[in-house]
Amino acid sequence: MRNRLQVQLFLLDNLIWVIVLLFFLINAFVTPKFATYDNLVNIFYHSAIMSMLVLAQGLVMIIGHLDLSIESTLAFAPGIAMLLALKWIPGGLDPVTCIFLTLAVGALVGFFNGFCIAKIGVNPFLQSLSMLIMLRGLVLFLVPFSIFPLDKVYVYAGQARMIGNIPVAIPIVLVVFLIFHIILQYTPFGRYFVATGGNPRASFISGINTRRVIIYAFVISGLLAAIAGLLAAGRQGSISNSMGQNMVLLSFAGAILGGASLEGGKGTPLGMLGGALLLGMISNSLNLLGVGVNLVYATQGALIFVAIVIDRLRVKFRGYLLHQEQVQKLLNREKQDPNLTATV
């Protein structure tokens, strides 16, 4: 493979970081106070929750599926944990146990989704859509009013600050992305994960338990949605039944912009981080420019459309580059052996 082609494919796979850099440079000159230290910290902080949802959605998309239920899981997991701690269990629960319980509830929701899809054969869209509606309905019923105050330990991840006024949520998010980057890039599980999305039938024939991989993907998705719930509860200091609403579609946009594909088998956690940051930067710049709420909402819809178009163009351009490489190899062979064409 020629060096030029390698560079082109590398830029294509990491297109999101080129877009992020260009968007940052433009806004550094156009948008007032955009490039200040406090605002950059603010962008990272307010992107933390969406980052977890983008990663959750992106990992499920890598195996060729989708998960609409993550925005409801974000509210359902901490809501159930707090109800158990404050109302349903006599004597209550300590905050550390509540944190683990929150994560367990999110993982169980993901397991239920994965089991129904992998074992029973339910369509992923319909399964996750039904859970999206059902969990949101349960949250509205069980948590009609906000639950507050919350223990300092429980809200620490989403509320505490470090040296330099950096929120604890930022390093937590970066560590989570780094862990999944290492898993997907350097472990057999990561290779099985990507292979399942790229070609499920070939993966199954080669000995990969594709059904188990699908279940794992949805468990991880639910777990990440629960982490997002912890960050959201910490940031607002309470648990409300509206947490996470209207975030699932943006998670698709962030994942696709970050390199995930609707066809499955593609995407990296670091790329998804770039997609989440781009969403945060766009929202931040529009707010600094004083753009109306309705136009911000319209812009988010446009982002979803742009993400889908970019996904299609990226697939077609990659195919074009690889095709040109094969044509060039054939031409080089003909130059080296003029009798090759005649022989063929």
Q: What is the DSSP string of 304-332?
A: HHHHHHHHHHHHHHHHHHHHHHHHHHHHH
Residue span of the structural domain in which 203 resides: 43-275
Q: Which residues of 61-100 are buried (b: 16+ CB within 10 A; e: fewer)?
A: bbbbbbbbbbbbbbbbbbbbbbebbeeeeeeebebeebbe
d(CA 298, CA 279): 13
Is the separation of the CB atoms in 153 and 95 below 8 Å?
Answer: yes
Q: Is 94 helix (H, G, I), strand (E, B) or coil?
A: coil
pTM of the model: 0.92
Kindly state the average pLDDT of the residues 251-264.
Answer: 89
pLDDT surpasses 70 at 278: yes
CA atoms of 52 and 48, how far apart (whole Å): 7
Residue 293, domain member (yes or no): no
Cα separation, 252 vs 135, whole angstroms? 20
| pLDDT tens per residue, range 103-118 | 999 999 999 999 999 9
Q: Dihedral angle at the C-alpha atoms of 93, 153, 99, 84, nearest 10 degrees?
A: 30
pLDDT computed for residue 344 by the predictor: 44
The confidence band for 297, taking pLDDT boundaries of 50, 70 and 90, is: confident
pLDDT computed for residue 2 by the predictor: 64
> Span 309-318, mean pLDDT?
83
More confident residue, 29 or 1: 29
Residue 73 is assigned to a structural domain of this protein: yes
Domains: count for the chain: 1
Interatomic CA distance for residues 191 and 218, integer angstroms = 17
Inside any domain, residue 281? no
Number of other CB atoms surrounding residue 171 within 10 Å: 12
Q: Which of 217, 49, 208 is nearest to 124 (CA)?
A: 217
Residue 299, in any domain of the structure:
no
Closest C-alpha among 213, 176, 173, 220 to residue 191 = 213
Rounded average pLDDT over 283-300: 88
Q: Is it the case that residue 341 has pLDDT exceeding 70?
A: no
What integer pLDDT is reported at residue 307 of this predicted model?
85
Residue 51 resides in a domain: yes
Mean pLDDT of the chain: 91
Judged by average pLDDT, the poorest of 77-86, 115-124, 291-300, 334-343 is 334-343
- CA dist list (Å): 232 to 36, 51, 139, 180: 24, 12, 15, 21
First to last CA, the chain: 24
For residue 220, pLDDT beyond 70? yes
Of the pLDDT bands very low, low, confident and very high (cuts 50, 70, 90), residue 309 is: confident
Q: By three-state DSSP, how is residue 147 classified?
A: strand
Report whether pLDDT(37) > 80.
yes
Is 59 part of a structural domain of the chain? yes
Instruction: Give the mean model confidence (pLDDT) for residues 18-47.
Output: 94
SS3 at position 167: strand
Q: What's the rounded Cα separation, in Å, for the pair 235 and 252?
A: 23
Comparing 1-15, 21-35, 118-132, the range with the smallest average pLDDT is 1-15
Predicted local distance difference test score (pLDDT) of residue 194 = 93
Average pLDDT over residues 188-199: 93
List % helix, strand, coil for the chain (3-state, nearest 5). 80, 0, 20
Please say if the pLDDT value at position 72 is more than 50.
Answer: yes
Q: What is the mean pLDDT of residues 6-29?
A: 87
pLDDT band at 339 (very low <50, low <70, confident <90, very high): low
Sole residue written with tokens 């080296």: 336
**141-174 residue pLDDT tens:** 999 999 988 999 999 999 999 998 999 999 999 9
The fraction of the chain above a pLDDT of 70, given in percent, is 97
Task: Look at residue 312 and tell me whether its pLDDT is greater than 80.
Answer: yes
Lowest-confidence range among 180-194, 274-288, 309-323? 309-323
Q: Is the pLDDT of residue 290 over 70?
A: yes
**Residue 3 pLDDT > 80:** no
In a domain, residue 106? The reply is: yes
pLDDT at 124: 95
What is the average pLDDT across 115-137?
Answer: 96
Tell me which DSSP letter residue 264 carries: S
In a domain, 16, yes or no: no
DSSP string, 192-256: HHHHHHH-HHHHHHTT--HHHHHHHHHHHHHHHHHHHHHHHHHHHTSB-TTTTTT-HHHHHHHHH
If DSSP codes are grouped into helix, strand and coil, which group holds residue 161? strand
